[in-house]
Structure 1
Amino acid sequence: MASDQSFADFVVYQIEKAGEITAKKMFGEYGIYADGKLFGLICDNKLFIKPTEAGRKYIGEALVEAPPYSGAKPSFLIEDKIEDRDWLSELVRISVKELPEPKPKKRKK
């Protein structure tokens, strides 16, 4: 099932305090970026954030991990706290700090 544009817009709104947030459509789902860095996915109208040690500590006991799609590595599944803008923005900020910088794109010849 593909995700709805309205859900992607809602997620971007919820985490707008975490930097320059964009959602890019990918295969009927969405990649979520903060300041150009991919940190999460929206699949089947659910938010998944790449796991980091700081994110794991921040979430604590409420941590739920699941793969966003079949064959994918588990990510943090955000359900209960998706309405909490401040909490979610902080999770994104601390997670993005630990993620590697995107590799530069190669020029086509």
Structure 2
Amino acid sequence: MATRAETVDHLRDLLAPLPLTARKMFGEYALYLDGVVVALVCDDTLWIKPLPGARALLPDCDLAPPFPGGSLYMNVAEALDDPDTVRAALRSVARERPPPKPRKKKKAE
């Protein structure tokens, strides 16, 4: 089942003032903070990358793949009752992830 755009809009509103941006990918969404992917929204559920800072802030979140064959992410559906903690976890992931690599320019033919 693909994620609805309304779900992504709701999550971005709930987690404001974080400047989250969303990008649709294969019917699901990736959420970006400071130019890096910090979470996925799959099947209308928020999944955060399980880096140490996020795990420390949200220790009770289950780890599971957000889609078949995917890597393990933290299912934070239950944690959304405390948006301040979820915001802190997303900020932590953004700090712990390496910055995106610059894209190579295509050579003119």
TM-score w.r.t. the length of structure 1 is 0.90
Mean CA deviation greater in 87-96 or 26-35: 87-96
Contact 2:54 2:93 in 1 (8 A): yes
Q: CA deviation at 1:65?
A: 0.6
Residue 75 of structure 1 aligns with which residue? Answer: 73
Q: Which structure 2 segments of 5+ residues have no match?
A: none
2:23 aligned counterpart, secondary structure: strand
Q: Separation in 2 of the partners of 1:83 and 1:50?
A: 19
Matched, 1:57 2:93: no
- Structure 2 length normalisation: TM-score? 0.90
Higher Rg: 2
1:4-23 counterparts in 2 under 5 A?
4-18=4-18, 20-23=19-22
Q: Is this contact kept in 2: 1:65–1:75, CA < 8 A?
A: yes
**RMSD of equivalent CA atoms:** 1.2
Greater RCO, CA 8 A, separation 6+: 1
> Contact 2:30 / 2:41 at 8 angstroms: preserved in 1?
yes
Over the matched positions of the two proteins, sequence identity in percent amounts to 35
Q: Which amino acid aligns with 2:103?
A: K
Instruction: Structure 1: give runs of 5+ residues left out of the alignment.
Output: none
- TM-aligned CA deviation for residue 16 of structure 1: 2.1
Q: What residue in structure 2 maps to residue 95 of structure 1?
A: 93
The total of aligned residue pairs comes to: 107
- The C-alpha deviation readout for 1:20-72, integer Å capped at 9, x for no partner, is 21011111110100121111111100111111111111112x12111011111
